[in-house]
């Protein structure tokens, strides 16, 4: 386990991406199943029945799976991928991260607001720092993540973080260690990749 309560990559079950052919920890992939009508269905929570088809949590990979009809090959039958599948996955992941963060708040693991977050970081109780992607860069530099890039989540907007806390906007939030925190971190990592962000930074920018 990492400090944030997340299972280390080497401890996670491995799954093979149907696009790249590479095996990687399940936490970096999105699971799909075939529905009763032979339509590809994203299984964001990983609980739907049926044989799973795994694709890297990356917009281009999902689009390639559709374009090259790789879902049909993996399912060994003719299946139909809904239009805008990558957008659907993005929206479902966004909703899931917000919901998981909301559950962490209700469990007492999450706080919001600069002063509360600052206090949690100073006491060592906070294991993850969350900051809005559209927040002031100057303001965000006043707080430092407790354990490097993997403990700093920046893929959500202030409005999205606000939804989890019942507020209009939230710039700073923090998470204490726990199972819910581990899920927030894992799902947020997928969302960051779907949004073209790696390690909190936009891909392709200096």
Residue-wise pLDDT for 145-180, tens only, equals 999 888 999 999 999 999 999 999 999 999 999 999
Q: Determine the Cα–Cα distance for residues 12 and 51; give it in Å rounded to an integer.
A: 19
pTM, 2 dp: 0.87
Q: Is 73 in contact with 51 (CB distance < 8 Å)?
A: no
Q: Determine the Cα–Cα distance for residues 172 and 126; give it in Å rounded to an integer.
A: 12
Domains, the chain, ranges and CATH? 9-84 (3.30.1230.10), 89-202 (3.30.1330.30)
Cα 203 off chain centre by: 16
Q: Determine the Cα–Cα distance for residues 41 and 33; give it in Å rounded to an integer.
A: 5
Q: Determine the Cα–Cα distance for residues 21 and 4; give it in Å rounded to an integer.
A: 30
Q: CB under 8 Å to 200, separation ≥6 — which residues?
A: 149, 152, 153, 154, 155, 192
Confidence at residue 27, expressed as pLDDT on a 0 to 100 scale:
86
């Amino acid at each position: 386990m990492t400090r944030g309560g997340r299972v280390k990559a080497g401890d996670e079950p491995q799954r093979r991406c149907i696009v790249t052919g590479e095996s990687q920890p399940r936490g970096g992939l999105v699971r799909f199943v075939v529905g009763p009508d032979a339509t590809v269905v994203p299984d964001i929570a990983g609980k739907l029945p049926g044989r799973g088809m795994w694709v890297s949590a990356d917009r281009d990979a999902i689009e390639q799976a559709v374009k090259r009809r790789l879902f049909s090959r993996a399912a060994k039958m003719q299946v139909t991928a809904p239009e805008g599948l990558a957008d659907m996955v993005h929206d479902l992941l966004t909703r899931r991260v917000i919901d998981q963060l909301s559950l962490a708040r209700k469990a007492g693991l999450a706080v919001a607001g600069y002063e509360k977050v600052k206090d949690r970081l100073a006491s060592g109780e906070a294991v993850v720092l969350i900051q809005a992607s559209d927040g002031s860069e100057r303001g965000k530099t006043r707080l430092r993540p407790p354990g490097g890039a993997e403990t700093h989540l920046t893929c959500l907007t202030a409005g999205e973080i606000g939804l989890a806390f019942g507020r209009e906007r939230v710039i700073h939030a923090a998470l204490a260690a726990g199972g819910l925190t581990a899920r927030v971190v894992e799902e947020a990592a997928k969302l960051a990749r779907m949004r073209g962000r790696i390690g909190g930074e936009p891909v392709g920018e200096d």
